[in-house]
Amino acid sequence: MKRRSHVTLIWGCLLGLLVLPGQAMSIAGYDVWTYQFPGAPITGFRDINADGDVVGYYQTNASDFNTAQALEIVGGVAQTITIPTATSDRRAFGNNDAGDVAGSFNNLGSHSFVRSGGVFTTIDFPGTTQGTTIRGLNNLGDLAGEYDDSSGQHGFVRRISGVFQTVDVPGATTTTVRAINDAGRMAGFYTDSSGQAHGFVSDDGVAFTTIDHPDPTALSTLAGGINNDGVVAGVWLASPGSPESQPARGFLLDSGVYTPFDLAGAVSTIPLGINDSGQIAGEAVASDGTHYGFIATPVPSPGSGVVILIGLTAVLRRGAANRPCRQRLSQVQA
């Protein structure tokens, strides 16, 4: 996998030290940090920006998605995102380097939102009243996701100019766009008439390259994230359904090469966000059924001490606001 050499941030306080007690998960070549929102059986991360800040959601009742609350972790501090007009099912799916956040909520139907500069804006695909979800946004302000109408589920992009474009894979029964990078390249997945899911990438929302994991037991493939190097993060499934409801196997796809991405200590790994430093954010399921958000940071190669110093400088700069970081460090040192 290509990694930009000028930035490999050691997020928080050296992630290798920060693992929730009793929930150690690991993968070769990465430092892994896991997080469970207090008291929530489900926590999942969905995107990660250049600073290593993540967005996602937590669910206080595992069987009731309406209890979902949008979540962000900025500088190591976790906080709930309060969407002013939401009544239930609040989720954050995308963030960019400016700290803008996008996602969805419910209020007499499903709607999407963007928070930019502290201001929330509700966005619905023009003409639909049956549901709009923004899954990703880039640093230019382009948005991507899906909407529903009387004919089914369609992907879409909305450029910073305000122009909406429907994105439908030819012959698909449903299409969703999960991420968009700064070049406008999209990643997502579609379902065929048999109900199988196939990942895709597209530069224009018209021509598509299908992604099907080569494992012979892979029934469905979902592309979840794409960075500016074109590296795709996703999952494959051996059974019908969603990756949150069954064992999912993670992968990275770089220049046609598939690399497994499965956390040891998890029964299911769902990598969904990837930044230009190669940091990966997602959701991991433990053997007891608890869902954890995770960040996996590439381990610096030997001789890259400057990179470590960059990460430590970023930590020190965030300073006193990083209370959870200090608390976990004190537990480790004790």
pLDDT in tens, 74-90: 999 999 999 999 999 99
Burial class from Cβ neighbours inside 10 Å (0-12, 13-18, 19+) for residue 28 reads: exposed
Strand-pairing partners, residue 308, are none
Q: Note the pLDDT of residue 301.
A: 73
DSSP secondary structure code for residue 26 in this structure: B
Q: Confidence band (pLDDT; 50, 70, 90) for 117? A: very high
Tell me which CATH homologous superfamily contains domain 15-333. TolB, C-terminal domain (2.120.10.30)
- Please tell me the distance from the alpha carbon of residue 260 to that of residue 203, in angstroms, as a whole number: 25
Q: Look at residue 1 and tell me whether its pLDDT is greater than 80.
A: no
Percent of the chain with pLDDT strictly greater than 90: 79
Q: Note the pLDDT of residue 237.
A: 97
Give residue 38's identity as a one-letter amino acid code: P
Q: pLDDT per residue over 21-74, tens digit each?
A: 336 899 999 999 999 999 999 999 999 999 999 999 999 999 999 999 999 999
Residues 43 and 291 sit within 8 Å (Cβ to Cβ): yes
216/300: higher pLDDT: 216
- Please tell me the distance from the alpha carbon of residue 12 to that of residue 323, in angstroms, as a whole number: 11
The candidate with the shortest Cα–Cα distance to 155, out of 182, 136, 141, is 136
Q: Note the pLDDT of residue 303.
A: 61
Q: Confidence band (pLDDT; 50, 70, 90) for 129? A: confident
- Please tell me the distance from the alpha carbon of residue 316 to that of residue 283, in angstroms, as a whole number: 28
Strand-pairing partners, residue 164, are 158
Q: Note the pLDDT of residue 44.
A: 97
Pick the range with the lowest mean pLDDT from 152-156, 189-193, 243-247, 272-276: 243-247
281/129: higher pLDDT: 281
Q: Confidence band (pLDDT; 50, 70, 90) for 112? A: very high
| Global confidence as pTM | 0.85
Helix (H, G, I), strand (E, B) or coil at 236: strand
Given its phi and psi angles, is residue 29 left (phi above 0), alpha (psi -120 to 50 degrees) or beta? left
Residues 299 and 281 sit within 8 Å (Cβ to Cβ): no
